[in-house]
Amino acid sequence: MTAPLPQISVVVPVFNEQDNVAPLVHEIVAALRGLVPFEIVYVDDHSRDNTLATLQALKAEVPELRVIRHVSQSGQSTAIRNGVKAARGEWIATLDGDGQNDPADIPKLIAQRDGGAHDVKLFAGWRVHRQDTGSKRWASKWANAIRARMLRDDTPDTGCGIKLFERAAFLDLPYFDHMHRYLPALMQRAGWKTVSVPVNHRARSTGVSKYNNLNRALVGIRDLRGVAWLITRSKRTATEEL
């Protein structure tokens, strides 16, 4: 008897997260096994530590786990997109690979989807109580305020890694590096609605962050201008077949 196709594909991009892989995989399994048919798609962004070896070993005990590896380091947005393209589920849940997102929140997002309107294609996590350094919280607050003013996407926390979205809607969005930070605005540009859902946030237990506030700010300014331009140039209309 063949296993049913997954309804949910959990996509996790990782780079040098060898100590966070196993705990997070087991948490995903605990949150979803018996609730919904699912798969876990890890995308290793050409890690230099034992992340890939750990993932390969885990496949023997977690049949839902699939592993994709970038042949060269390409960044988080590319890893997410490649994971979504490889996924078999109609809906995608994403998590950051550092363990700060709580997989136990995925059922909450699924429940929001099941009780929501059909034109809501993105349920975005909202880290109400962030467990980051003061400088990161300040930088995020500043960046969110600027983004909200420029894009008017009505999203309090666009940088949260845990999200649930329709695969087809995501793949219809324009692709560019760092696009994962602007999914609410891009989904709304495409004509869909988005909902922010309060979720748990945890302190990083091991490893180090791959980003710093200056890098985020410099890249973010350029990206914001680009997304704002995309929004002004968008045009949508209903169609009918005759």
Which fold is adopted by the domain 8-232?
Spore Coat Polysaccharide Biosynthesis Protein SpsA; Chain A (3.90.550)
Which segments within 45-84 are labelled E, that is strand? 65-69
Which segments within 15-172 are labelled E, that is strand? 38-44, 65-69, 91-94, 120-127, 163-166
- Residues 140, 109: contact at Cβ < 8 Å? no
Distance CA 9, CA 121 (A): 15
Reported confidence tier of residue 215, pLDDT bands at 50, 70, 90:
low
Two structure tokens written together for 57: 């070993």
**Averaged confidence pLDDT in the chain:** 89
Model confidence pLDDT, tens digit, residues 76-86: 999 999 999 99
* Length reported for the chain: 242
Segment among 7-21, 52-66, 133-147, 165-179 with least mean pLDDT: 133-147
- 184-210 burial by CB neighbour count: b if 16+ within 10 A, else e? bbbbbbbebebbbbebbbeebeebeee
Domain ranges of the chain: 8-232
Reported confidence tier of residue 210, pLDDT bands at 50, 70, 90:
low
Reported confidence tier of residue 207, pLDDT bands at 50, 70, 90:
low
Segment among 70-74, 143-147, 161-165 with least mean pLDDT: 143-147
Percent of the chain exceeding pLDDT 70 equals: 86
pLDDT, average across residues 31-36 = 97
